[in-house]
A and B are shown apart, each in its own frame.
Chain A
Amino acid sequence: MNIHEYQSKEILRSYGVAVPNGKAAFSVDEAVEVAKTLNSPVTVVKAQIHAGGRGKAGGVKLAKNLDDVKVYATELLGKTLVTHQTGPEGKKVNRLLIEEGSNIAKEYYLSFVIDRQTAQVVMMASSEGGVEIEKVAAETPEKIFKEYIDPVIGLAHFQATRMAYALNFPPAAIRKASALMLKLYAAFIGKDCSQVEINPLVLTKEDDVIALDAKLNFDDSALFRHPDIVELRDETEEDAKELRAAKSDLNYVNLGGDVACMVNGAGLAMATVDIIKFYGGSPANFLDVGGAATPETTAEAFQIMLDGGQAKGIFVNIFGGIVKCDNIAKGLIDAAKIIAGEGKPFPVPVVVRLEGTNVDIARKMLQDAAIGNVMVSETMEGGAEKIVKLVKEAEKN
């Protein structure tokens, strides 16, 4: 789960991490009010969306006075920002962070992530801050320093100190930098984060060390022990279809195309998206209905795929292991009744590939039901090819 920068900073502040003074604003008036209380020579007006690259896209403005704050807040609120992470459709700005400006002397990069290989949290930092860390990693990997953290000990003082020296902080800032790292690690563990990224971490001209930006991601599997984090969810930042699917416990990711698929199992679902593309189709979604799909959730899945006219065809790819194919077939038949109505054809072509337990019974059930526009394919390959062909034909007409 993702949250906004201002929310991340509030959490970090509660752990004692140094962040600039500032507050969220939802309107122009609020923005000016916050700026007044900050009483800073320079005020930063930052668009709050769940995507990086806001600065380059014009989502971060420096205001020298309250009139500037008003102008920038008016400009940004309601504006659609397109960054390299939002996709071409961009994201609408509904919230701003109004923050005091900092006297930046130097920018650094600092993050905590979980390293799969060592099964440890790793602290990663670089003196090359403010730029894309992937680029630094690719071009000058020697400029990235790492400290692997023993979960029993936690981040040790010596590790934080060693990192501060590796980054070449001036003597007056070494302890401030290491203290910030220790507090950041406490926040990472305390809130079950999957990633914490501070880019940039800044050294000010006054030798203070401040988290100028903050990106916190949370482990979805651990949200049950953090109801305070769940409350920070901003549903307007999420894809409407993905949100609806999540409410029915469907694992759905919108991919934007028009050939939809419904699959059991995450791996097979990914592979089904791939095979649709392989045969020249444009995948509409990733959808794993899981092992416990009922006729109701199956029907809901169909409705989500069809919503807004997105799916021009649907490929159902089921391998019945523990899940029995006849249960899936029943779900399909019931779903067709709910969506199309008794005896009416399905609104878009549906190709069904079933394999595994009770497949013969299931195929016969679908044949007997004879729902218009619903076809059974004997093979996965044939099914994928067929649905792509049918969607292409529909596009021509």
Chain B
Amino acid sequence: MGILVNKDTKVIVQGITGKAATFHTKQMLDYGTKIVGGVTPGKAGQQVEGVPVFNTVADAVKATGATASVVYVPARFAADSILEAVNADLDLVVCITEHIPVLDMVKVRRYMAGKKTKLIGPNCPGILTTDECKLGIIPGYIHRKGHVGVISRSGTLTYEATFQLTAAGIGQTTAIGIGGDPVKGIDFIDALKLFKADDDTKAILMIGEIGGSAEEDAAKWIAENMPEKPVAAFIAGRQAPKGKRMGHAGAIISGGKGTAADKIKALNAVGIEVADTVAHIGDTVVNTLKRAGIYEVCHTC
């Protein structure tokens, strides 16, 4: 089980002939992902890692029946690639590219309104359903099958957290990196809704960071809508100064809002334990599972 993608999901890679895309296409295929095609205008007829290349997303979808796409296109053209995938009525687009202009993403979000396509990213590591498939750049080998869903705004923190879960014997259903940009696709609440509906997912780990109020909104949503699935959390950026962009475009405390302290307070207020340091994410999930009486069920590896 898991959310959004599984072993049967047919995936195309936009920008497949680029260096990073070619490398990750092989990684995704090795993990078992059904990569059925790639798109690079002008390169139709070529093959990358045995995958046929098409000029347009429409051509690729027509020929392969793909329902999902992963975008590795450079920042100046990436927003257009998302539009093309949305226009082709794909169920899911994952955009790995970072440094897409924010106003381009504002237009993308407007274009997506009322359409069925879900977007993960941009500036994200992608999504991985354990032992089934991955779209993006998450290293597969750290994942083990289990019952915890992982949602994160950061790439390496997703890996770090998953690594700690696996080391603690806690397997995962799906890990999803929603990305570090201020204007993006799926946010915490969207991912939480999907995990709530997934019977295989018994608990959720949420990794947030400074900037915006998505974590506070998620805390409220969890308290009101998901009493049955325990949530543990971690927030990066307790020591971040005001007004400084900490790597991610979205990780900035502006106007005194979006501080780690506010987020931790909001999460604690609804009974969600927040790890005190990054080294204790695994322990915090274990504590949360034990308190909920589902540690044994979730101890899968």
Contacts and interface: CB of A to CB of B under 8 A. Distances in A.
Contact of B107 (A151, A255, A277): A151
A80 interface: no
A319 interface: yes
Pick the most buried of A219, A220, A224, A225: most chain B CB atoms within 10 A of its CB: A219
A116 B214 contact: yes
Interface string A264-278: 111111111111011
B103 to A, nearest CB: 6
Given A265-B157, A286-B246, A219 B139 contact: no
B236 A219 contact: no
Contact of A271 (B99, B157, B256): B157
B210 A224 contact: no
Chain A facing B: main interface SS: mixed
A379 interface: yes
B266 interface: no
B163 A355 contact: yes
Given A265-B157, A356-B139, A356-B163, A275 B277 contact: yes
A384 B159 contact: no
B75 interface: yes
Interface residues of A, number: 54
Contacts of B142: 321, 356
A274 B239 contact: yes
Interface in B56-111: 75-76, 99-107, 109-110
Contacts of A117: 213, 217
Interface residues of B, number: 65
A85 interface: yes
B139 A266 contact: no
Contact of B279 (A194, A270, A288, A381): A381
Contacts of A119: 105-106, 109-110, 183
Given A255-B239, A357-B139, A266 B100 contact: no
A274 B237 contact: yes
B153 A271 contact: no
A172 interface: no
Contact of B241 (A189, A195, A255): A255
A348 interface: no
Interface in A129-184: 133-134, 137, 150-152
B247 A271 contact: no
B255 A219 contact: no
A306 interface: no
Contacts of B249: 219-221
Contacts of A267: 152-158, 180, 207, 209, 236, 247-248
Contact of B103 (A189, A273, A356): A189
A322 B157 CA distance: 13
A373 interface: no
B300 to A, nearest CB: 21
B30 interface: no
Nearest to B249: A221
B231 interface: no
Interface string B228-243: 0000001011111101
B101 A274 contact: no
B211 to A, nearest CB: 8
Given A114-B182, A119-B110, A120-B106, A268 B244 contact: no
Nearest to B281: A271
A181 B100 CA distance: 27
Nearest to A222: B101
Contacts of B279: 275, 379-381, 384
Given A151-B107, A222-B103, A274-B239, A381 B277 contact: yes
Contacts of A116: 182-183, 212-214, 250
Contacts of A357: 139, 141
A119 B212 CA distance: 12
B278 interface: yes
Contact of A133 (B241, B244, B255): B255
Nearest to A357: B139
B170 to A, nearest CB: 17
B203 interface: no
Interface in B134-184: 137-139, 141-142, 152-160, 163, 180, 182-183
Contacts of A189: 103
A114 B280 CA distance: 34
Contacts of B155: 265-267, 321
The 5 closest A-B pairs by CB, nearest first: A267-B154, A266-B247, A265-B156, A267-B157, A222-B101
Interface of B: 27, 75-76, 99-107, 109-110, 137-139, 141-142, 152-160, 163, 180, 182-183, 207, 209-210, 212-214, 217, 234, 236-241, 243-251, 254-257, 260, 276-280
20 contacts: A116-B182, A116-B212, A119-B109, A137-B255, A219-B102, A251-B247, A265-B247, A266-B154, A266-B155, A266-B246, A266-B248, A266-B251, A267-B236, A268-B157, A268-B160, A270-B209, A271-B278, A274-B238, A275-B278, A356-B159
Given A114-B106, A255-B239, A274-B237, 8 more contacts: A119-B105, A267-B153, A267-B154, A267-B207, A271-B278, A278-B277, A286-B247, A380-B279
